[in-house]
Structure 1
Amino acid sequence: MIVAFIGFSEAGPAFAEAMVGNGAEVRAFDLRSLDARQAEAQAALCARVGAAHSGSLAAALDGADLVVSTVTAGAALRVARDAAPLLAAEACYLDMNSISPDGKRAVGDAVAPNAFVEGVAMGRIAEGKLPRVLLSGPGSAIWAERLAALGWSAKSAGEAWGAAPKAKLLRSVMVKGFEALLVEAFEGARAESLEPVLLETLADWIPELDWPAFTSYHLGRVAKHGPRRAEELRECAAMLEQMGRSVTMSARAAEIMAAAGPTPAAAQPTS
């Protein structure tokens, strides 16, 4: 199988490396390659994971069986529109960007009549381990099997459009919402010099969890990526509103994330 990645910085190389290791021919194109100062670094990154470095979008997509978009949420639709006329007739377009169900459908419309599958990574790449990937839309079960054979932990969330991105955003309500609780609790604990006491009481609540490491990791992520988390929580709130559900927690968590990072306010606990 020939696989082309559009966007190749963080997630792309990890997924590509797994596919190369399982026999796929992988190409990659990133906008950075159009800058002579960055093209060399992009070529080296491709070489490190066994992917062919493409100097243009057309070169990457030429004859590809599967096209994987791992760009940014803001660029997902534009990239799909740019790619559409360059896709081989039988190519499938897999959008892996963190966008809303409506955003995914817009991407699918942009690449029609080519096959389209919605994809989301349910977590981050940690210690070289790929996160679980959920797919949805007609044909997603078949593509989950094909991707699993190429080293992905892929599963179809259903043939219905929107199933995978909805599951992703609902997960974010939990994960990002809990991070917002950590920010609020530890800001209060820090103000009263009660961080060690709070960590001890949390250990009594769930003793199996390494609370100092867990809290340090998540508050560190908020400090670094607070605004991006806030934007995702706003997407969660918008989706829940469309479902007719309460958005009290998601909306407030988005406010906390926007204020918490990247600033010292969400610094890691001292103990």
Structure 2
Amino acid sequence: MRIGIIGVGEVGRCFAPALSQLGSAPILLCDPRPTRAAEDLARDLGAGLVGCASEALGACDLVLSCVNGAAAGEIAATVADCDAPGQVLFDFATASPQVKRDAADALRRCGRHYVDVAIMGAVSIGGVETPLLAAGDENAEAVQSARDLMLRAGFRLAWLAEAKPGDAASLKLLRSVFTKGLEALAVECLVAAEHFGVRHALYEVLSDVDGTPLPAFLEMLVSTHLLHAERRLAEVEQAESQLRDADLPVRLLPCIRGLFGATATAMAQERLTETPSPGEALKRLETIGKSVGRVAKDQSTARTENREPGPRC
């Protein structure tokens, strides 16, 4: 199987050696602005290195797109223009679900196979064994052959059941909501903990979190949020005051206060006495969130309409 890799950045440089070791065929690398690291890799692997994908990828059976998300659609269009019926494109770019769906449609129309792949971890840490989540035409013979080859190369490739292109990208972005939000909270919280000299003590008082499986912990949070938002709002306000009194950076807590405040206001008339199920709580929270969003949008529109026109240029 002839393999082409578009984009020889961190991801491409990680995947190329593993595939090259299989020895099935020389690897073709493609990067319009190759770095010294890309050139060295091509030399070490005995791989071709080209700058224009359309000039060479028509000869490849399997193409791995390892570009950034902004270029994902362009790469898919380039691959679609190549004269290579039955070709398989594994798209590792972090792009929107709609970009991935559009790319899949474009390749399907010209007899190609498209697989949406989300990298669910840090390649810099996990290397070729970083977990990968795929969605696409798993049952196509060409895709199965490509999948089997990647598994032999050591890829940790799992298929998302009954999924279509775009679904893996959607899950990755939802994962980012959690992980990037947690990262931001860690920054705000640990800066304060270090300032007060209690960082290691904080780890101790957070140790109970380690004793609960993450899904159960998250569902406990959203299930009890409706019932206890008002009390927890007071704690958020006290925490924010503590940081402000110490002249520490406070960027997330005002947003958190706003979320708890919106829930507390919405639930003030309902007088819940029992904790709802996670599903029930999430439906109610979606309704509250949409209501708050509509109010904010209306207020923004009103401010714009009432604004005096500025000077004409």
2:136 is the alignment partner of 1:134: no
Change (3 A) 1:174 1:49: farther
Change (3 A) 1:93 1:128: closer
2:48 is the alignment partner of 1:52: yes
Q: Could you say what secondary structure the match of 1:71 adopts?
A: coil
Change (3 A) 1:102 1:42: same
Change (3 A) 1:156 1:128: closer
Q: Could you say what secondary structure the match of 1:116 adopts?
A: strand
Number of matched residues? 208
Q: Could you say what secondary structure the match of 2:59 adopts?
A: coil
AA in 1 matched with 2:191: E
1:106-152 deviation digits (Å, cap 9, x = unpaired): 22233342211111111112164531111112226724334212331
Q: Could you say what secondary structure the match of 1:134 adopts?
A: strand
AA in 2 matched with 1:104: K
> What fraction of aligned residue pairs are identical, expressed as a percent?
31
Instruction: Please tell me whether the aligned partners of residues 5 and 70 of structure 1 are also in contact (alpha carbons under 8 angstroms).
Output: yes
Quote the residue 2:158 is aligned against: 155
AA in 1 matched with 2:114: F
The structure having more radius of gyration, on CA atoms, is: 2
| TM-score using structure 2 length | 0.58
Change (3 A) 1:68 1:127: closer
What is the rounded CA distance, in whole Å, between the counterparts of 1:159 and 1:2 in structure 2?
A: 28
Q: CA deviation at 1:96?
A: 0.7
AA in 2 matched with 1:154: L
122-131 vs 12-21, which moves further: 122-131
Q: CA deviation at 1:166?
A: 2.6
What is the rounded CA distance, in whole Å, between the counterparts of 1:127 and 1:152 in structure 2?
A: 10
1:59-74 pair list within 5 angstroms: 59-74=55-70
- Name stretches of at least 5 consecutive residues in structure 1 with no aligned partner: 208-242, 249-271
Quote the residue 1:211 is aligned against: none
What is the rounded CA distance, in whole Å, between the counterparts of 1:87 and 1:157 in structure 2?
A: 29
Quote the residue 1:199 is aligned against: 203
Instruction: Please tell me whether the aligned partners of residues 68 and 95 of structure 1 are also in contact (alpha carbons under 8 angstroms).
Output: yes
Quote the residue 1:227 is aligned against: none
Instruction: Please tell me whether the aligned partners of residues 4 and 61 of structure 1 are also in contact (alpha carbons under 8 angstroms).
Output: yes
Q: 1:118 aligns with which of 116, 119, 129?
A: 116
1:178-189 pair list within 5 angstroms: 178-189=182-193
Change (3 A) 1:43 1:95: same
What is the rounded CA distance, in whole Å, between the counterparts of 1:22 and 1:78 in structure 2?
A: 29
What is the rounded CA distance, in whole Å, between the counterparts of 2:192 and 2:65 in structure 1?
A: 41
| TM-score using structure 1 length | 0.67
Higher relative contact order (CA 8 A, sep 6+): 1
Instruction: Please tell me whether the aligned partners of residues 139 and 159 of structure 1 are also in contact (alpha carbons under 8 angstroms).
Output: no
Q: CA deviation at 1:204?
A: 6.8
Instruction: Please tell me whether the aligned partners of residues 54 and 78 of structure 2 are also in contact (alpha carbons under 8 angstroms).
Output: no
Quote the residue 1:22 is aligned against: 22
Change (3 A) 1:41 1:167: closer
Instruction: Please tell me whether the aligned partners of residues 29 and 48 of structure 2 are also in contact (alpha carbons under 8 angstroms).
Output: yes
What is the rounded CA distance, in whole Å, between the counterparts of 1:179 and 1:100 in structure 2?
A: 22
1:176-233 deviation digits (Å, cap 9, x = unpaired): 23222212211321343332332343457549xxxxxxxxxxxxxxxxxxxxxxxxxx
170-179 vs 72-81, which moves further: 170-179
Change (3 A) 1:27 1:89: same
Change (3 A) 1:127 1:154: closer
Quote the residue 2:95 is aligned against: 99
Instruction: Please tell me whether the aligned partners of residues 28 and 47 of structure 2 are also in contact (alpha carbons under 8 angstroms).
Output: yes
1:36-51 pair list within 5 angstroms: 38=35, 41-51=37-47
AA in 1 matched with 2:10: E
1:73-100 deviation digits (Å, cap 9, x = unpaired): 1111122223321251121111111122
